Chain A
Amino acid sequence: MDIFGIPIQAFLGQLLLGLVNGSFYAMLSLGLAVIFGLLGIVNFAHGALYMMGAYVAFVGLDQFGINYWFSLVLAPVTIGAVGVVIERTLLKRLYGIDPIYGLLLTFGLALIAEGLFRDHFGVSGQQYPVPELLQGATNLGFMVLPNYRAWVVFASLAVCLGTWWIIERTRLGAYLRAGTENPALVQAFGVNVPMMVMLTYGAGAGLAALAGVLAAPVIQITPLMGSNLIIVVFAVVVIGGMGSILGSILTGLALGLIEGLTKVFYPEASSIVVFVIMAIVLMIRPAGLFGKEK
């Protein structure tokens, strides 16, 4: 069976790949949105944190025999701690000044991280094996579904929805949202806002690292994998608008799918399609699809 002259197997395979990429876009743009909301900083280092998460998994397995499942916890915790240190030592000096400085500072941090990893690991890609439990594929009748890819989509969706639930439905999330609106007032009510800001950046960093571990078995791990991705994620964020959590998740997934479709029908354009969509959205709806601010 064919769809527009493309075998349905290949078609669905690309769609699934698109969905996998979309899950990473969703997780990363979610982290960016939460950090931006509370800290007012566009975190260019998000890509580097994602890369470092993948390397924690890789080095863990390679040097210490730490398995995938343990890395899923270890990497976010380690990189989250790195995030906390970054926030305490550097980012906190930038609150209240023009947000472009936050972007530039995190850009510098990304350069440092990439340079260090390049010096140590070189530029060639590293492979990370698919964990035993998730090897192989399931035959669904109309397509063969690689188990690991299904797991990535499932796990990132679960994480994204979990984050949404925490922010929109819990007391902690209410503090967070209030802090986004008016930190001074929230602090006046006795909430430790600096602590909350610190933990938010740490959690965002951890989320990026978690995406890195999930990505490790399906991509080549290289020191540059983060920066190339983060620019696409920026476009995703502009398209979705940073106003809404569910909006970020939906936009991320949808753009991954569209990218997958483009790979099927017009592969030359697959690397630019997200940017083209961004340009169109800006022409029609400058605030982004789910954006609220002017």
Chain B
Amino acid sequence: MAAATDTSAVASKGGQIAMWIGLAVLLAAPFIGLYPVFMMKALCYAIFACAFNLLLGYTGLLSFGHAAYLGAAAYATGWLVRTAGLPPELGVLAGTACAALCGLAIGLIAIRRQGIYFAMVTLAMAQMIYFVFLQAPFTGGEDGLQGVLRGKLFGLIPLANDTVLYYVVLAVFVAVFLLIIRIVHSPYGQVLKAIRENEPRAVSLGYDVDRYKLLAFVLSTAIAGLAGSLKTLVLGFATLTDAHWSLSGEVVLMTLLGGMGTFAGPVIGAFTIIGLQDFLSDRVGAWINVIIGVIFVVCVVAFRRGFVGELIAWQKRRRAQ
């Protein structure tokens, strides 16, 4: 990535403090008047954006159809929990697996092209999945799958209570966040970054680049699926908007706005965009798309490092003086 500075280290003290403060706020959220359903929705999209960032930020692959995997998992979980009566934990697992399988199938096709073509192929394949959902009998067409009950986690903990479900979602989010840090710092993650920086060079060093990219793609789609499955449990429905290309665009924006190639960036981006949509949805009508579009344009032209990227760059400049 052209604009990527190496911002993957969590090492800076300020960054660590900020993360602990963030965690404390998230833990306290239900008690300081933050609406739990909103927070859960934002956390789901934060997981989604983190998954996307693993590809764009750390591997340099722009998947322009990531909503398809979120949507696939959302439908799979919705159908399995509602119609087949699966408990929520199995529903979420199955949804995640379903997204990973879609990711594997599409990844195998998409990694045959590089660069901008990769983006076009993933977008086109995602659109195909969207049309399948539009016509398939089990998705409920335009209405979507409605009335998915949350059930009991492990048959014990009833999830109907928003606060209980919030902590479950938060636990999953923290696990995903740590997993991604772990992946990026592992030797495997280092190879991904090498591919991002200079793919021909990684090839010449003897790495089977396609396999690394495919695994990153499947990991990312699986985590995106996890986000979709959780979202279905939280909101109780799965609809076509979950798989629509506009959501694929939004997750790019979340990552870009927060700072791609940074750990906290996608989370901050997701909260910003979801918060903005929530705040504006009944105030501006169709203008919401205009506003999102303007943020997109401004980000690309003048703010390519995103919030966290700018912060890290500013810190580096200060330390250099």
List residues of chain A with CB under 8 Å of any chain B CB: 42, 90, 93-94, 97-101, 103-105, 107-116, 118-119, 227, 231-232, 234-235, 237-238, 268, 271-272, 274-276, 278-279, 282-283, 286
Contacts and interface: CB of A to CB of B under 8 A. Distances in A.
Given A234-B123, A271-B135, 7 more contacts: A94-B300, A99-B116, A109-B297, A271-B134, A275-B127, A282-B113, A286-B112
B287 interface: yes
A163 to B, nearest CB: 21
A104 B289 contact: no
Residue of A90, A97, A282 with most partner-chain B CB within 10 A: A282
Interface in B44-62: 62
A268 to B, nearest CB: 6
Contact of B131 (A116, A271, A282, A286): A271
A108 B131 contact: no
Contact of A93 (B110, B131, B301): B301
A42 B295 CA distance: 19
Nearest to B295: A108
Contacts of B37: none
Give the secondary structure class of B's interface. helix
B294 interface: yes
11 contacts: A99-B115, A104-B299, A105-B296, A105-B300, A111-B290, A115-B288, A115-B290, A232-B127, A271-B135, A272-B132, A278-B125
A235 B125 CA distance: 9
Residue of B117, B121, B285 with most partner-chain A CB within 10 A: B117
Contacts of B119: 42, 100, 103
B268 to A, nearest CB: 18
Nearest to A285: B112
B297 A105 contact: yes
B167 to A, nearest CB: 35
Contact of B128 (A107, A108, A276, A283): A276
Contacts of A271: 131, 134-135
B300 A275 contact: no
A101 B252 CA distance: 11
A234 B115 contact: no
Interface string B299-319: 111001000000000000000
Interface of B: 1-3, 62, 64, 109-110, 112-113, 115-117, 119-121, 123-125, 127-128, 131-132, 134-135, 245-246, 249, 252, 256, 285-297, 299-301, 304
B129 to A, nearest CB: 9
The 3 closest A-B pairs by CB, nearest first: A108-B296, A111-B293, A115-B289
A101 B297 contact: no
Nearest to A287: B113
Contacts of A110: 293
B108 to A, nearest CB: 9
Residue of A231, A283, A286 with most partner-chain B CB within 10 A: A231
A275 B288 CA distance: 30
A238 B285 CA distance: 35
Contacts of B127: 231-232, 235, 275
A97 B134 CA distance: 37
B63 to A, nearest CB: 11
Contact of B300 (A108, A113, A231, A235): A108
B290 to A, nearest CB: 4
Contact of B289 (A94, A111, A237, A238): A111
A97 B302 CA distance: 13
A231 B130 CA distance: 12
B62 A103 contact: yes
A79 to B, nearest CB: 18
A278 B124 contact: yes
A110 B293 CA distance: 7
Contact of A275 (B62, B125, B296): B125
Contacts of A109: 293, 297
Contact of B121 (A94, A100, A282): A282
A276 B149 CA distance: 35
A41 to B, nearest CB: 9
A102 to B, nearest CB: 8
A144 to B, nearest CB: 31
Given A109-B293, A114-B289, A115-B289, A279 B125 contact: yes
Contacts of A268: 135
Nearest to B112: A286
Given A99-B115, A276-B128, A108 B297 contact: yes
Contacts of B300: 94, 101, 104-105, 108
Contacts of B116: 42, 99-100, 103
Contact of A107 (B2, B131, B291, B296): B296
A174 to B, nearest CB: 26
A46 to B, nearest CB: 12
Contacts of A235: 120, 124, 127
A251 B174 CA distance: 48
B301 A238 contact: no
Nearest to A271: B131
B120 A238 contact: yes
Given A42-B120, A103-B62, A283 B293 contact: no
